[in-house]
Amino acid sequence: MNLKEFLDKINGIKDAAFSEIKASKDKETLEGVRVKYLGSKGLLSELSKAMLTLERQDRPEAGKTLNQTKEEITLEHKRAHQEVLKAPVSESDYIDVTLPGRRVPLGHRHLITRTSQEICHIFEKMGLTITEGPEVETDYYNFEALNFPQDHPSRDMQQTLFVGKELLLRTHTSCVQIRTMEKTPPPVWIVVPGKTYRRDDDLTHSPMFNQVEGLVVDKGITMADLKGMLAEFARQFFSQDTKIRLRPSFFPFTEPSAEVDIACVNCGGKGCRICKGSGWLEVLGCGMVNPALYKNVGYDPKTVTGFAFGIGVDRMAMLKYHLDNISRFYAGDVRYMRQFPS
Ligand code: PHE
């Protein structure tokens, strides 16, 4: 081979290599091209062996051109390789479309929310409207207007959490009785769900708990209406054969006042560990609205009468679902709450 033939051959190989690189659209084809031209048994390496057939004085130029060409092809190959890597891959390259889809886990209401809503719904069906009020209250709405006199021992019934001199975390939802009557003339038929706070903490008490308050003020409302409404509530919430009883009690804002017991949901009244042998469980406080409250909100005690009640939602949930520790409601353990889907 003479020099001219050698150089022509190099050019031919270079053109072929470039056009094959250009035509390669994936890594595998490009690798084939690399082996074919740049590999140890490739065309260029064959050509460098063929250099020995050249005249001695032609060899330096031939060698130089060969090396240059090798470099150019290598560079072009690298560039093409980068391009192929950047190119968008089709989804089927990385998604196995035959795999089953991933389910998005579906949450549900917390048992307390659900119980509170169930309680409210029963009263809504009886004509009461859901109303709410603030959790941080003034001394006036939590105590004063509800007929708890300053420095009176009746305030000790509630282990209050104060957040300022006149401000506190409400100890009950009864404050909303005053807030509503202040704003609306009678008749008032409301049910008030909400969080309440007391400095209590044991198996059945948590510093934050939930109540549902009821207030009915209208013409000619009697204690029989109160008892009838609560008896019907107990039947709907627990079961049709649930019995209730009223025991005399005291609240400054109701007169007369009563505690309501339901026949033990565990033993049905025979007496067991849950009801401490009595057959009855205390579930709520109630009474006829104390006329002193009407004075505070500008109602005429001669034309209206009413009743109020306050239900502990946590206690109702524990009784209905036979739970023993209130703190589980607020521990934030999803595994526990998952047992009560809704
Ligand atoms: N507010 C009372 C409590 O939290 C319950 C109650 C409400 C009693 C309404 C009578 C009337 O203990």
Q: Which amino acid is at 140?
A: Y
CA of 287 to the centre of ligand 1 (A): 8
**What is the maximal distance between C-alpha atoms in the chain?**
132
Distance CA(189)–CA(288), nearest Å, equals: 14
**Nearest Cα residue to 283 out of 250, 318, 253:** 318
**Pairing relationship of beta strands 244-251 and 208-218 according to DSSP bridges:** unpaired
pTM above 0.75, yes or no: no
Instruction: Give pLDDT, residue 274.
Output: 80
- Residue 160 CB–ligand 1 contact under 6 Å: no
Distance CA(36)–CA(47), nearest Å, equals: 13
Instruction: Give pLDDT, residue 218.
Output: 98
Q: Right CATH number for 111-337 from 3.30.1540.20, 3.30.930.10, 3.20.20.70, 1.10.10.10? A: 3.30.930.10
Q: Which stretches of the chain drop beneath a pLDDT of 50?
A: none
CA of 172 to the centre of ligand 1 (A): 7
- Residue 254 CB–ligand 1 contact under 6 Å: yes
- Residue 147 CB–ligand 1 contact under 6 Å: no
CA of 229 to the centre of ligand 1 (A): 16
Report the alpha-carbon angle 219-225-229, nearest 5. 130
Contact residues for 210 (Cβ-Cβ < 8 A; gap 6+): 112, 116, 193, 194, 195, 196, 312, 313, 314
Q: What are the tokens at 223?
A: 């204690």
Please report, to the nearest 10 degrees, the dihedral formed by the alpha carbons of residues 141, 147, 152, 156 taken in order. -60
Instruction: Give pLDDT, residue 277.
Output: 92
Distance CA(218)–CA(190), nearest Å, equals: 11
Sign of the alpha-carbon torsion through 197, 198, 201, 203: negative
pLDDT digits (tens, 9 = 90+) for 5-28: 999 999 999 999 999 999 998 889
pLDDT digits (tens, 9 = 90+) for 91-140: 767 788 888 888 898 899 999 999 999 999 999 999 999 999 999 999 99
Distance CA(11)–CA(39), nearest Å, equals: 18
Distance CA(70)–CA(162), nearest Å, equals: 85
**Nearest Cα residue to 24 out of 32, 15, 14:** 32
How much of the chain exceeds pLDDT 70, in percent? 99
Please report, to the nearest 10 degrees, the dihedral formed by the alpha carbons of residues 113, 117, 120, 124 taken in order. 160
Instruction: Give pLDDT, residue 273.
Output: 84
- Residue 309 CB–ligand 1 contact under 6 Å: yes
Sign of the alpha-carbon torsion through 109, 112, 116, 122: positive
Please compute, for residue 183, the number of CA atoms within 13 A of its CA located in the half-sphere on the CB side.
Answer: 9
Domains of the chain by residue range: 3-93, 111-337
